[in-house]
Chain A
Amino acid sequence: MIEAHGLTKRYGERTAVDDLTFTVRPGVVTGFLGPNGAGKSTTMRMILGLDAPSAGTVRVNGRRYGDAAAPLHEVGALLEARAIHSGRSAHDHLLALGQTHGIGRARVRQLLELVGLGEVAQQRVGSFSLGMGQRLGIASALLGDPAIVLLDEPVNGLDPEGVLWVRTLLRSLAAEGRTVFVSSHLMSEMALTADHLIVIGRGRLLADVPMADFIARASPSRVRVRTPQSAELARLLRRERGDVRAEAADVLEVDGLTCEAIGERAAAAGLTLYELTPQAASLESAFMELTHDSVEYAAQVAA
Protein backbone atom coordinates (compact mmCIF):
# COMPACT_ATOMS: atom_id res chain seq x y z
CA MET A 1 0.00 0.00 0.00
CA ILE A 2 1.29 3.43 -0.96
CA GLU A 3 -0.47 6.49 0.45
CA ALA A 4 0.38 9.91 -0.89
CA HIS A 5 -1.15 12.91 0.77
CA GLY A 6 -0.81 16.41 -0.65
CA LEU A 7 2.49 15.37 -2.22
CA THR A 8 4.18 18.37 -3.81
CA LYS A 9 7.58 18.97 -5.38
CA ARG A 10 8.74 22.38 -6.49
CA TYR A 11 11.97 23.19 -8.29
CA GLY A 12 12.29 26.92 -7.87
CA GLU A 13 9.39 28.43 -9.79
CA ARG A 14 8.36 25.21 -11.45
CA THR A 15 5.98 22.83 -9.72
CA ALA A 16 6.75 19.32 -10.88
CA VAL A 17 4.27 17.56 -8.62
CA ASP A 18 1.28 19.49 -7.39
CA ASP A 19 -0.71 18.38 -4.35
CA LEU A 20 -1.09 14.71 -5.27
CA THR A 21 -3.29 12.59 -3.05
CA PHE A 22 -3.83 8.96 -3.95
CA THR A 23 -3.65 5.44 -2.61
CA VAL A 24 -2.15 2.46 -4.39
CA ARG A 25 -3.70 -0.79 -3.16
CA PRO A 26 -2.26 -4.28 -2.98
CA GLY A 27 -3.47 -7.14 -5.15
CA VAL A 28 -3.99 -5.13 -8.31
CA VAL A 29 -1.82 -3.54 -10.96
CA THR A 30 -2.11 0.23 -10.73
CA GLY A 31 -1.08 2.15 -13.80
CA PHE A 32 0.50 5.56 -13.31
CA LEU A 33 -0.16 7.41 -16.49
CA GLY A 34 0.76 10.81 -17.79
CA PRO A 35 2.52 12.55 -20.66
CA ASN A 36 6.28 13.02 -20.55
CA GLY A 37 7.22 15.56 -17.91
CA ALA A 38 3.98 15.07 -15.98
CA GLY A 39 5.85 14.28 -12.77
CA LYS A 40 5.64 10.48 -12.70
CA SER A 41 9.34 9.85 -12.08
CA THR A 42 9.56 12.62 -9.50
CA THR A 43 6.60 11.10 -7.65
CA MET A 44 8.26 7.70 -7.69
CA ARG A 45 11.54 9.14 -6.39
CA MET A 46 9.63 10.81 -3.55
CA ILE A 47 7.99 7.49 -2.65
CA LEU A 48 11.50 6.03 -2.27
CA GLY A 49 12.75 9.01 -0.30
CA LEU A 50 15.31 9.88 -2.99
CA ASP A 51 13.75 13.31 -3.48
CA ALA A 52 12.36 15.18 -0.50
CA PRO A 53 8.80 16.50 -1.02
CA SER A 54 8.37 20.29 -0.81
CA ALA A 55 5.08 19.58 0.95
CA GLY A 56 2.91 16.62 1.80
CA THR A 57 3.77 13.09 2.79
CA VAL A 58 3.99 9.69 1.27
CA ARG A 59 3.79 6.50 3.30
CA VAL A 60 4.76 3.03 2.30
CA ASN A 61 3.03 0.17 4.12
CA GLY A 62 1.96 2.66 6.75
CA ARG A 63 5.29 4.35 7.46
CA ARG A 64 7.98 6.47 5.92
CA TYR A 65 10.09 4.39 3.52
CA GLY A 66 13.29 5.44 5.29
CA ASP A 67 12.07 3.99 8.59
CA ALA A 68 11.81 0.44 7.27
CA ALA A 69 14.19 -2.13 8.74
CA ALA A 70 14.41 -3.92 5.41
CA PRO A 71 13.62 -1.33 2.72
CA LEU A 72 14.20 -3.72 -0.19
CA HIS A 73 11.63 -6.07 1.33
CA GLU A 74 9.10 -3.23 1.44
CA VAL A 75 9.61 -1.70 -1.99
CA GLY A 76 11.47 -2.97 -5.02
CA ALA A 77 11.98 -0.31 -7.66
CA LEU A 78 13.00 -0.01 -11.26
CA LEU A 79 13.82 3.64 -11.83
CA GLU A 80 13.60 5.30 -15.18
CA ALA A 81 17.21 6.33 -15.45
CA ARG A 82 18.88 2.93 -15.43
CA ALA A 83 20.35 2.89 -11.94
CA ILE A 84 23.11 0.40 -12.68
CA HIS A 85 26.89 0.89 -12.71
CA SER A 86 28.00 0.02 -16.24
CA GLY A 87 31.38 -1.32 -15.13
CA ARG A 88 30.00 -4.13 -13.01
CA SER A 89 28.67 -7.52 -14.09
CA ALA A 90 24.95 -8.22 -13.74
CA HIS A 91 25.72 -10.76 -11.01
CA ASP A 92 27.91 -8.38 -9.01
CA HIS A 93 25.38 -5.56 -9.36
CA LEU A 94 22.60 -7.64 -7.83
CA LEU A 95 24.94 -9.14 -5.23
CA ALA A 96 26.15 -5.71 -4.04
CA LEU A 97 22.57 -4.44 -3.74
CA GLY A 98 21.37 -7.61 -2.04
CA GLN A 99 24.23 -7.81 0.42
CA THR A 100 22.96 -4.67 2.16
CA HIS A 101 20.04 -6.84 3.30
CA GLY A 102 21.81 -10.16 3.73
CA ILE A 103 20.59 -11.48 0.38
CA GLY A 104 23.09 -13.96 -0.99
CA ARG A 105 24.35 -15.47 -4.22
CA ALA A 106 21.69 -18.17 -4.44
CA ARG A 107 18.89 -15.60 -4.67
CA VAL A 108 20.90 -13.53 -7.16
CA ARG A 109 21.36 -16.51 -9.47
CA GLN A 110 17.70 -17.41 -9.13
CA LEU A 111 16.65 -13.90 -10.19
CA LEU A 112 19.07 -13.74 -13.10
CA GLU A 113 17.52 -16.96 -14.41
CA LEU A 114 14.03 -15.59 -13.82
CA VAL A 115 14.63 -12.50 -15.96
CA GLY A 116 16.51 -14.46 -18.60
CA LEU A 117 19.99 -13.09 -17.95
CA GLY A 118 21.51 -16.30 -16.57
CA GLU A 119 23.90 -16.69 -19.47
CA VAL A 120 25.23 -13.13 -19.40
CA ALA A 121 25.47 -12.89 -15.60
CA GLN A 122 29.21 -12.33 -15.66
CA GLN A 123 29.21 -9.77 -18.48
CA ARG A 124 29.70 -6.09 -17.80
CA VAL A 125 26.40 -4.21 -17.77
CA GLY A 126 27.90 -1.59 -20.08
CA SER A 127 27.72 -4.10 -22.92
CA PHE A 128 23.99 -4.76 -22.37
CA SER A 129 21.26 -3.69 -24.76
CA LEU A 130 18.48 -1.42 -23.51
CA GLY A 131 16.20 -4.42 -23.13
CA MET A 132 18.76 -6.43 -21.14
CA GLY A 133 19.29 -3.42 -18.90
CA GLN A 134 15.54 -3.26 -18.28
CA ARG A 135 15.50 -6.94 -17.38
CA LEU A 136 18.35 -6.43 -14.93
CA GLY A 137 16.51 -3.44 -13.48
CA ILE A 138 13.43 -5.62 -12.97
CA ALA A 139 15.61 -8.26 -11.30
CA SER A 140 16.93 -5.54 -8.94
CA ALA A 141 13.36 -4.58 -8.14
CA LEU A 142 12.43 -8.15 -7.21
CA LEU A 143 15.63 -8.81 -5.22
CA GLY A 144 14.21 -8.27 -1.75
CA ASP A 145 10.94 -10.10 -2.44
CA PRO A 146 9.14 -6.79 -1.96
CA ALA A 147 5.55 -6.19 -0.88
CA ILE A 148 5.44 -3.23 -3.26
CA VAL A 149 6.85 -3.23 -6.77
CA LEU A 150 7.47 0.18 -8.27
CA LEU A 151 8.36 0.19 -11.95
CA ASP A 152 9.05 3.34 -13.95
CA GLU A 153 8.40 2.67 -17.65
CA PRO A 154 9.34 -1.02 -17.45
CA VAL A 155 8.62 -1.89 -21.07
CA ASN A 156 10.87 0.83 -22.48
CA GLY A 157 13.28 -0.75 -24.92
CA LEU A 158 11.87 -4.24 -24.62
CA ASP A 159 11.12 -6.37 -27.65
CA PRO A 160 7.53 -7.69 -28.09
CA GLU A 161 8.41 -10.90 -26.27
CA GLY A 162 9.85 -8.86 -23.41
CA VAL A 163 6.76 -6.65 -23.28
CA LEU A 164 4.56 -9.72 -23.00
CA TRP A 165 6.83 -11.12 -20.29
CA VAL A 166 6.55 -7.92 -18.24
CA ARG A 167 2.76 -7.92 -18.58
CA THR A 168 2.53 -11.49 -17.34
CA LEU A 169 4.99 -10.79 -14.54
CA LEU A 170 3.06 -7.73 -13.34
CA ARG A 171 -0.20 -9.66 -13.28
CA SER A 172 1.32 -12.54 -11.34
CA LEU A 173 2.96 -10.19 -8.83
CA ALA A 174 -0.41 -8.56 -8.22
CA ALA A 175 -2.07 -11.98 -7.99
CA GLU A 176 0.40 -12.84 -5.19
CA GLY A 177 -1.08 -9.96 -3.25
CA ARG A 178 1.65 -7.43 -3.89
CA THR A 179 1.12 -3.76 -4.60
CA VAL A 180 2.17 -3.13 -8.20
CA PHE A 181 2.61 0.48 -9.32
CA VAL A 182 3.71 0.92 -12.92
CA SER A 183 4.25 4.17 -14.75
CA SER A 184 3.88 4.63 -18.46
CA HIS A 185 3.15 7.33 -20.99
CA LEU A 186 1.43 4.77 -23.23
CA MET A 187 -2.27 4.29 -22.63
CA SER A 188 -2.38 1.26 -24.91
CA GLU A 189 0.16 -0.53 -22.72
CA MET A 190 -1.71 0.32 -19.53
CA ALA A 191 -5.02 -0.84 -21.00
CA LEU A 192 -3.53 -4.33 -21.27
CA THR A 193 -1.99 -4.56 -17.80
CA ALA A 194 -3.56 -2.22 -15.30
CA ASP A 195 -6.64 -2.81 -13.17
CA HIS A 196 -6.64 0.71 -11.82
CA LEU A 197 -5.46 3.99 -13.26
CA ILE A 198 -3.94 7.08 -11.73
CA VAL A 199 -3.54 9.75 -14.36
CA ILE A 200 -1.54 12.92 -13.84
CA GLY A 201 -0.70 15.87 -16.01
CA ARG A 202 1.58 18.76 -15.14
CA GLY A 203 1.94 17.26 -11.69
CA ARG A 204 -1.79 17.35 -10.95
CA LEU A 205 -4.12 14.42 -10.42
CA LEU A 206 -6.46 14.10 -13.40
CA ALA A 207 -8.07 10.77 -12.71
CA ASP A 208 -8.00 8.01 -10.12
CA VAL A 209 -10.37 5.39 -11.49
CA PRO A 210 -10.73 1.66 -12.06
CA MET A 211 -9.60 0.73 -15.55
CA ALA A 212 -13.10 -0.57 -16.34
CA ASP A 213 -14.63 2.83 -15.55
CA PHE A 214 -12.07 4.61 -17.65
CA ILE A 215 -12.85 2.34 -20.58
CA ALA A 216 -16.60 2.78 -20.07
CA ARG A 217 -16.19 6.53 -19.93
CA ALA A 218 -14.09 6.53 -23.05
CA SER A 219 -16.44 4.19 -24.89
CA PRO A 220 -18.27 5.76 -27.70
CA SER A 221 -21.87 6.55 -28.10
CA ARG A 222 -21.24 7.75 -31.64
CA VAL A 223 -22.73 5.72 -34.46
CA ARG A 224 -22.21 6.01 -38.19
CA VAL A 225 -25.30 5.38 -40.25
CA ARG A 226 -25.54 5.03 -44.03
CA THR A 227 -28.98 5.30 -45.49
CA PRO A 228 -30.53 6.48 -48.78
CA GLN A 229 -33.22 8.26 -46.74
CA SER A 230 -30.87 10.33 -44.61
CA ALA A 231 -33.09 13.40 -44.33
CA GLU A 232 -36.05 11.41 -42.97
CA LEU A 233 -33.87 9.41 -40.59
CA ALA A 234 -32.14 12.57 -39.32
CA ARG A 235 -35.49 14.16 -38.55
CA LEU A 236 -36.69 11.01 -36.80
CA LEU A 237 -33.53 10.64 -34.67
CA ARG A 238 -33.51 14.29 -33.66
CA ARG A 239 -36.97 13.77 -32.21
CA GLU A 240 -35.42 10.97 -30.13
CA ARG A 241 -32.88 13.48 -28.74
CA GLY A 242 -30.06 12.16 -30.89
CA ASP A 243 -27.33 14.61 -31.94
CA VAL A 244 -27.22 14.07 -35.68
CA ARG A 245 -24.77 15.45 -38.24
CA ALA A 246 -24.79 14.78 -41.95
CA GLU A 247 -21.31 13.62 -43.00
CA ALA A 248 -22.20 13.00 -46.63
CA ALA A 249 -25.33 12.76 -48.76
CA ASP A 250 -26.14 9.32 -47.40
CA VAL A 251 -24.06 9.25 -44.18
CA LEU A 252 -25.06 10.43 -40.71
CA GLU A 253 -23.05 10.57 -37.49
CA VAL A 254 -25.24 10.14 -34.42
CA ASP A 255 -24.27 10.90 -30.84
CA GLY A 256 -26.38 9.87 -27.86
CA LEU A 257 -28.18 6.88 -29.32
CA THR A 258 -27.09 3.27 -29.48
CA CYS A 259 -27.00 1.16 -32.64
CA GLU A 260 -29.92 -0.84 -31.32
CA ALA A 261 -32.07 2.23 -30.76
CA ILE A 262 -31.32 3.64 -34.21
CA GLY A 263 -31.98 0.29 -35.90
CA GLU A 264 -35.31 -0.14 -34.17
CA ARG A 265 -36.48 3.41 -34.97
CA ALA A 266 -35.51 2.98 -38.60
CA ALA A 267 -37.31 -0.36 -38.85
CA ALA A 268 -40.44 1.06 -37.21
CA ALA A 269 -40.46 3.91 -39.71
CA GLY A 270 -39.73 1.58 -42.61
CA LEU A 271 -36.42 3.25 -43.49
CA THR A 272 -33.63 1.39 -45.24
CA LEU A 273 -30.19 1.15 -43.60
CA TYR A 274 -27.05 0.15 -45.53
CA GLU A 275 -24.71 0.49 -42.61
CA LEU A 276 -24.84 0.89 -38.83
CA THR A 277 -21.38 1.13 -37.19
CA PRO A 278 -20.39 2.07 -33.64
CA GLN A 279 -17.44 4.45 -33.87
CA ALA A 280 -14.84 3.21 -31.38
CA ALA A 281 -13.03 6.12 -29.82
CA SER A 282 -9.73 4.62 -28.74
CA LEU A 283 -8.51 4.65 -25.16
CA GLU A 284 -5.52 6.51 -26.48
CA SER A 285 -7.73 9.36 -27.68
CA ALA A 286 -9.63 9.37 -24.39
CA PHE A 287 -6.32 9.68 -22.59
CA MET A 288 -5.18 12.42 -24.95
CA GLU A 289 -8.41 14.30 -24.34
CA LEU A 290 -7.99 13.96 -20.58
CA THR A 291 -4.41 15.18 -20.59
CA HIS A 292 -4.78 17.58 -23.48
CA ASP A 293 -4.43 20.74 -21.44
CA SER A 294 -1.55 19.43 -19.42
CA VAL A 295 0.88 18.24 -22.03
CA GLU A 296 4.20 19.72 -21.09
CA TYR A 297 5.89 19.57 -24.46
CA ALA A 298 3.10 19.67 -27.03
CA ALA A 299 4.19 19.86 -30.63
CA GLN A 300 3.08 23.23 -31.91
CA VAL A 301 1.35 23.27 -35.26
CA ALA A 302 2.54 26.22 -37.32
CA ALA A 303 -0.26 28.78 -37.53
Chain B
Amino acid sequence: MSAATTTPAPAGADERRGRPLGLSGARVLRSEWTKLTSLRSTRIALAIAVATLLAFAALGAWLTVRHWTAADEASRASFDAAQRTLVGVLLAQLVLGVLGVLAISGEYATGMIRASFAAVPRRLPVLWAKLAVYAALTFALALVTCAAAYALGNAILAGKQLDAGLGQAGVARAIVGAAAYLTVVGLLGLALGAITRSTAAGIAALVALLLVLPALVSLLPASPGQTIGKFLPSSAGLRVIALHHDPTALSAGAGFAVLCGYALVAIAVSAIMLTRRDV
Protein backbone atom coordinates (compact mmCIF):
# COMPACT_ATOMS: atom_id res chain seq x y z
CA MET B 1 0.00 0.00 0.00
CA SER B 2 2.94 2.30 0.63
CA ALA B 3 4.07 4.25 -2.38
CA ALA B 4 7.62 3.12 -1.71
CA THR B 5 7.59 1.30 -5.02
CA THR B 6 6.43 4.28 -7.03
CA THR B 7 8.54 6.94 -5.37
CA PRO B 8 12.29 6.50 -5.09
CA ALA B 9 14.01 7.09 -1.77
CA PRO B 10 15.21 10.67 -1.66
CA ALA B 11 18.79 11.52 -2.41
CA GLY B 12 20.84 11.97 0.71
CA ALA B 13 19.24 9.25 2.82
CA ASP B 14 22.46 7.90 4.23
CA GLU B 15 23.18 7.01 0.63
CA ARG B 16 26.91 6.56 1.19
CA ARG B 17 26.27 3.66 3.51
CA GLY B 18 23.28 2.49 1.53
CA ARG B 19 21.02 2.28 4.57
CA PRO B 20 17.30 2.58 3.94
CA LEU B 21 15.25 5.53 5.04
CA GLY B 22 13.82 5.02 8.51
CA LEU B 23 13.98 5.64 12.22
CA SER B 24 16.75 4.43 14.48
CA GLY B 25 17.99 5.37 17.93
CA ALA B 26 21.29 6.67 16.57
CA ARG B 27 19.49 8.84 14.02
CA VAL B 28 17.20 10.37 16.64
CA LEU B 29 20.32 11.12 18.71
CA ARG B 30 21.94 12.86 15.75
CA SER B 31 18.75 14.85 15.19
CA GLU B 32 18.64 15.99 18.81
CA TRP B 33 22.33 16.91 18.66
CA THR B 34 21.57 19.16 15.67
CA LYS B 35 18.59 20.66 17.49
CA LEU B 36 20.53 21.48 20.66
CA THR B 37 23.64 22.82 18.98
CA SER B 38 21.89 24.84 16.28
CA LEU B 39 20.21 27.21 18.73
CA ARG B 40 21.78 30.49 19.75
CA SER B 41 20.27 30.16 23.23
CA THR B 42 22.35 27.01 23.79
CA ARG B 43 25.59 28.73 22.87
CA ILE B 44 24.74 31.73 25.04
CA ALA B 45 23.80 29.60 28.06
CA LEU B 46 26.93 27.48 27.80
CA ALA B 47 29.13 30.56 27.44
CA ILE B 48 27.54 32.17 30.50
CA ALA B 49 27.98 28.97 32.51
CA VAL B 50 31.67 28.74 31.59
CA ALA B 51 32.28 32.42 32.33
CA THR B 52 30.45 32.17 35.66
CA LEU B 53 32.41 29.14 36.84
CA LEU B 54 35.76 30.72 35.97
CA ALA B 55 34.94 34.20 37.27
CA PHE B 56 33.58 32.97 40.59
CA ALA B 57 36.57 30.67 41.09
CA ALA B 58 38.91 33.63 40.73
CA LEU B 59 36.72 35.89 42.84
CA GLY B 60 36.18 33.34 45.61
CA ALA B 61 39.87 32.54 45.86
CA TRP B 62 40.94 36.15 45.72
CA LEU B 63 38.52 37.23 48.48
CA THR B 64 39.70 34.32 50.66
CA VAL B 65 43.35 35.19 50.26
CA ARG B 66 42.69 38.85 50.84
CA HIS B 67 40.73 38.39 54.06
CA TRP B 68 42.57 35.32 55.39
CA THR B 69 44.69 37.21 57.95
CA ALA B 70 41.61 38.93 59.38
CA ALA B 71 39.47 35.76 59.42
CA ASP B 72 38.56 34.17 62.75
CA GLU B 73 39.40 30.61 63.80
CA ALA B 74 35.96 29.19 62.94
CA SER B 75 35.92 30.41 59.37
CA ARG B 76 39.54 29.30 58.91
CA ALA B 77 38.66 25.84 60.19
CA SER B 78 35.64 25.53 57.85
CA PHE B 79 37.65 26.65 54.81
CA ASP B 80 37.24 24.23 51.96
CA ALA B 81 39.36 24.82 48.83
CA ALA B 82 36.95 22.94 46.56
CA GLN B 83 33.80 24.65 47.79
CA ARG B 84 35.52 28.00 47.55
CA THR B 85 36.83 27.62 43.99
CA LEU B 86 33.72 25.89 42.66
CA VAL B 87 31.32 28.40 44.18
CA GLY B 88 30.24 29.39 40.65
CA VAL B 89 28.27 26.13 40.53
CA LEU B 90 25.54 27.87 42.54
CA LEU B 91 24.90 30.28 39.69
CA ALA B 92 25.83 28.00 36.80
CA GLN B 93 23.22 25.47 37.97
CA LEU B 94 20.49 27.99 37.22
CA VAL B 95 21.88 28.79 33.78
CA LEU B 96 22.28 25.13 32.82
CA GLY B 97 18.98 24.20 34.48
CA VAL B 98 17.18 26.81 32.37
CA LEU B 99 18.96 25.46 29.29
CA GLY B 100 17.60 22.02 30.20
CA VAL B 101 14.05 23.40 30.50
CA LEU B 102 14.41 25.21 27.16
CA ALA B 103 15.65 22.09 25.39
CA ILE B 104 12.07 20.84 25.36
CA SER B 105 9.82 23.76 26.39
CA GLY B 106 11.10 25.70 23.38
CA GLU B 107 9.60 23.01 21.16
CA TYR B 108 6.24 23.28 22.88
CA ALA B 109 6.28 27.07 22.71
CA THR B 110 6.93 27.11 18.96
CA GLY B 111 4.87 24.05 18.00
CA MET B 112 8.03 22.26 16.82
CA ILE B 113 7.14 19.40 19.16
CA ARG B 114 4.37 18.37 16.73
CA ALA B 115 6.85 18.05 13.90
CA SER B 116 9.21 16.15 16.20
CA PHE B 117 6.54 13.69 17.31
CA ALA B 118 5.17 13.32 13.79
CA ALA B 119 8.67 12.25 12.75
CA VAL B 120 9.08 9.98 15.79
CA PRO B 121 5.54 8.87 16.68
CA ARG B 122 6.67 6.71 19.61
CA ARG B 123 7.84 9.96 21.24
CA LEU B 124 9.97 8.41 24.00
CA PRO B 125 13.06 8.10 21.77
CA VAL B 126 12.91 11.89 21.44
CA LEU B 127 12.95 12.32 25.22
CA TRP B 128 15.77 9.81 25.73
CA ALA B 129 17.82 11.39 22.96
CA LYS B 130 17.28 14.88 24.37
CA LEU B 131 18.43 13.72 27.81
CA ALA B 132 21.46 11.89 26.41
CA VAL B 133 22.60 14.71 24.14
CA TYR B 134 22.09 17.31 26.84
CA ALA B 135 23.96 15.21 29.40
CA ALA B 136 26.91 14.53 27.09
CA LEU B 137 27.33 18.14 26.02
CA THR B 138 26.87 19.64 29.47
CA PHE B 139 29.00 17.12 31.31
CA ALA B 140 31.92 17.41 28.88
CA LEU B 141 31.88 21.17 28.97
CA ALA B 142 31.28 21.40 32.72
CA LEU B 143 34.07 18.94 33.49
CA VAL B 144 36.67 20.86 31.51
CA THR B 145 35.44 24.17 32.92
CA CYS B 146 35.30 22.98 36.54
CA ALA B 147 38.82 21.59 36.23
CA ALA B 148 40.00 24.88 34.79
CA ALA B 149 38.12 26.85 37.44
CA TYR B 150 39.67 24.73 40.18
CA ALA B 151 43.16 25.19 38.75
CA LEU B 152 42.60 28.93 38.48
CA GLY B 153 41.27 29.29 42.01
CA ASN B 154 43.96 27.03 43.39
CA ALA B 155 46.71 29.10 41.79
CA ILE B 156 45.35 32.17 43.58
CA LEU B 157 44.93 30.30 46.88
CA ALA B 158 48.56 29.21 46.66
CA GLY B 159 49.44 32.78 47.62
CA LYS B 160 48.52 31.87 51.22
CA GLN B 161 49.45 28.19 50.92
CA LEU B 162 45.73 27.37 51.01
CA ASP B 163 45.81 25.37 47.79
CA ALA B 164 44.93 21.69 47.65
CA GLY B 165 46.46 19.68 44.79
CA LEU B 166 44.60 17.23 42.57
CA GLY B 167 46.19 14.38 44.47
CA GLN B 168 44.65 15.47 47.75
CA ALA B 169 41.74 13.46 49.07
CA GLY B 170 38.43 14.41 47.53
CA VAL B 171 39.67 17.04 45.08
CA ALA B 172 39.27 14.97 41.92
CA ARG B 173 35.88 13.79 43.17
CA ALA B 174 34.81 17.37 43.86
CA ILE B 175 35.70 18.47 40.32
CA VAL B 176 33.98 15.54 38.61
CA GLY B 177 31.14 15.86 41.12
CA ALA B 178 30.60 19.54 40.29
CA ALA B 179 30.28 18.69 36.59
CA ALA B 180 27.96 15.79 37.39
CA TYR B 181 25.87 17.99 39.72
CA LEU B 182 25.41 20.60 36.99
CA THR B 183 24.49 17.91 34.47
CA VAL B 184 21.89 16.29 36.72
CA VAL B 185 20.33 19.66 37.57
CA GLY B 186 20.07 20.29 33.82
CA LEU B 187 18.40 16.91 33.29
CA LEU B 188 16.00 17.76 36.12
CA GLY B 189 15.24 21.01 34.29
CA LEU B 190 14.63 19.12 31.05
CA ALA B 191 12.21 16.76 32.76
CA LEU B 192 10.40 19.69 34.41
CA GLY B 193 10.18 21.39 31.00
CA ALA B 194 8.65 18.22 29.55
CA ILE B 195 6.14 17.97 32.40
CA THR B 196 5.05 21.62 32.37
CA ARG B 197 5.40 22.06 28.56
CA SER B 198 6.09 25.72 29.27
CA THR B 199 9.32 27.67 29.62
CA ALA B 200 8.03 29.93 32.36
CA ALA B 201 6.44 27.15 34.40
CA GLY B 202 9.44 24.87 33.93
CA ILE B 203 11.90 27.50 35.13
CA ALA B 204 9.62 28.37 38.05
CA ALA B 205 9.45 24.72 39.10
CA LEU B 206 13.22 24.38 38.87
CA VAL B 207 13.90 27.54 40.86
CA ALA B 208 11.33 26.45 43.44
CA LEU B 209 13.08 23.12 43.90
CA LEU B 210 16.61 24.52 43.98
CA LEU B 211 16.19 27.82 45.82
CA VAL B 212 12.72 28.44 47.22
CA LEU B 213 12.26 25.12 48.97
CA PRO B 214 15.55 25.39 50.92
CA ALA B 215 14.60 28.91 52.00
CA LEU B 216 11.20 27.70 53.23
CA VAL B 217 12.70 24.72 55.04
CA SER B 218 15.17 26.98 56.80
CA LEU B 219 12.17 28.67 58.45
CA LEU B 220 11.20 25.39 60.14
CA PRO B 221 12.32 24.62 63.70
CA ALA B 222 15.80 23.08 63.80
CA SER B 223 14.93 19.43 64.33
CA PRO B 224 12.62 18.76 61.36
CA GLY B 225 14.26 21.55 59.40
CA GLN B 226 17.73 20.06 59.37
CA THR B 227 16.49 16.57 58.58
CA ILE B 228 14.34 17.72 55.69
CA GLY B 229 16.94 20.25 54.59
CA LYS B 230 19.69 17.75 53.97
CA PHE B 231 17.46 15.75 51.62
CA LEU B 232 16.61 18.70 49.36
CA PRO B 233 18.07 18.41 45.85
CA SER B 234 20.58 21.25 46.05
CA SER B 235 21.87 20.71 49.59
CA ALA B 236 22.09 16.94 49.04
CA GLY B 237 23.67 17.21 45.61
CA LEU B 238 26.19 19.87 46.55
CA ARG B 239 27.78 17.58 49.18
CA VAL B 240 29.73 16.06 46.31
CA ILE B 241 31.78 19.26 46.07
CA ALA B 242 32.78 19.44 49.76
CA LEU B 243 36.24 18.18 50.76
CA HIS B 244 35.45 17.99 54.48
CA HIS B 245 32.91 15.62 55.93
CA ASP B 246 30.04 17.37 57.68
CA PRO B 247 28.40 15.10 60.28
CA THR B 248 25.07 16.96 60.05
CA ALA B 249 24.84 16.48 56.29
CA LEU B 250 24.73 13.50 53.93
CA SER B 251 27.91 11.97 52.59
CA ALA B 252 29.02 12.93 49.09
CA GLY B 253 27.80 9.67 47.56
CA ALA B 254 24.49 9.57 49.41
CA GLY B 255 23.81 13.23 48.67
CA PHE B 256 24.45 12.81 44.96
CA ALA B 257 22.25 9.71 44.92
CA VAL B 258 19.41 11.74 46.46
CA LEU B 259 19.78 14.41 43.74
CA CYS B 260 19.74 11.71 41.07
CA GLY B 261 16.59 10.32 42.71
CA TYR B 262 14.78 13.63 42.22
CA ALA B 263 15.88 13.75 38.59
CA LEU B 264 14.85 10.14 37.95
CA VAL B 265 11.40 10.68 39.42
CA ALA B 266 10.91 13.81 37.30
CA ILE B 267 12.11 11.97 34.19
CA ALA B 268 9.79 9.03 34.87
CA VAL B 269 6.81 11.36 35.32
CA SER B 270 7.69 13.27 32.17
CA ALA B 271 8.03 10.03 30.18
CA ILE B 272 4.61 8.81 31.30
CA MET B 273 2.95 12.15 30.52
CA LEU B 274 4.71 12.41 27.18
CA THR B 275 3.21 9.19 25.89
CA ARG B 276 -0.28 9.87 27.22
CA ARG B 277 -0.99 13.48 26.42
CA ASP B 278 -2.11 14.98 23.12
CA VAL B 279 0.27 17.44 21.56
Contact = CB atoms under 8 A, between A and B. Distances in A.
Interface of A: 1, 26, 45, 48-52, 61-62, 65-66, 68-75, 77, 79, 81-89, 92-93, 95-108, 110, 124, 140, 143-148, 176-179
B31 interface: yes
A102 B115 contact: no
Contacts of A61: 1-3
B118 A104 contact: no
Given A88-B35, A102-B14, A177-B7, A48 B112 contact: no
Given A86-B110, A88-B39, A99-B27, A71 B120 contact: yes
Nearest to A88: B38
Contacts of B32: 96
B115 A104 contact: no
B11 interface: yes
B119 A71 contact: yes
Interface of B: 1-4, 6-15, 19-24, 27-28, 30-32, 34-35, 38-41, 106-107, 110-122, 278-279
A48 B3 contact: no
Contacts of B22: 69-70, 73, 101-102
Which of A85, A97, A98, A147: most chain B Cβ within 10 A? A85
Contact of A50 (B15, B39, B117): B117
Most chain B CB atoms below 10 A, which of A26, A61, A102, A124: A102
A73 B4 contact: yes
B279 A50 contact: yes
Contact of A102 (B13, B39, B113): B13
A74 B4 CA distance: 8
B10 A147 contact: no
Contacts of A103: 10, 12-13, 21
B21 A87 contact: no
Nearest to A147: B3
A108 to B, nearest CB: 7
A83 B114 contact: yes
Given A52-B278, A107-B11, A176-B6, A73 B21 contact: yes
B12 A104 contact: yes
Q: Which 4 A/B pairs are nearest by Cβ-Cβ distance? A: A147-B3, A107-B12, A106-B12, A104-B12
B87 to A, nearest CB: 31
10 contacts: A45-B114, A50-B118, A52-B278, A61-B2, A83-B110, A85-B110, A97-B116, A101-B21, A101-B22, A145-B10
A144 B8 CA distance: 10
A235 B117 CA distance: 67
A65 B122 CA distance: 10
A144 B21 contact: yes
A268 B225 CA distance: 107
Given A70-B21, A100-B27, A100-B31, A147 B13 contact: no
Given A66-B122, A85-B110, A97 B7 contact: no
A96 B114 contact: no
A289 B14 CA distance: 52
A79 B111 contact: yes
Contact of B20 (A45, A70, A87, A106): A70
Contact of B118 (A71, A84, A106, A147): A71
Nearest to A107: B12
Nearest to A49: B121
B39 A97 contact: no
A163 B59 CA distance: 60
B278 A51 contact: yes
A82 B113 CA distance: 11
A110 B27 contact: no
B120 A147 contact: no
B111 A178 contact: no
Contacts of B116: 97
Given A71-B121, A87-B39, A106-B12, 17 more contacts: A49-B121, A51-B279, A71-B118, A79-B111, A79-B115, A83-B110, A83-B113, A84-B115, A87-B40, A92-B34, A93-B112, A97-B116, A103-B13, A104-B12, A104-B14, A177-B7, A178-B7
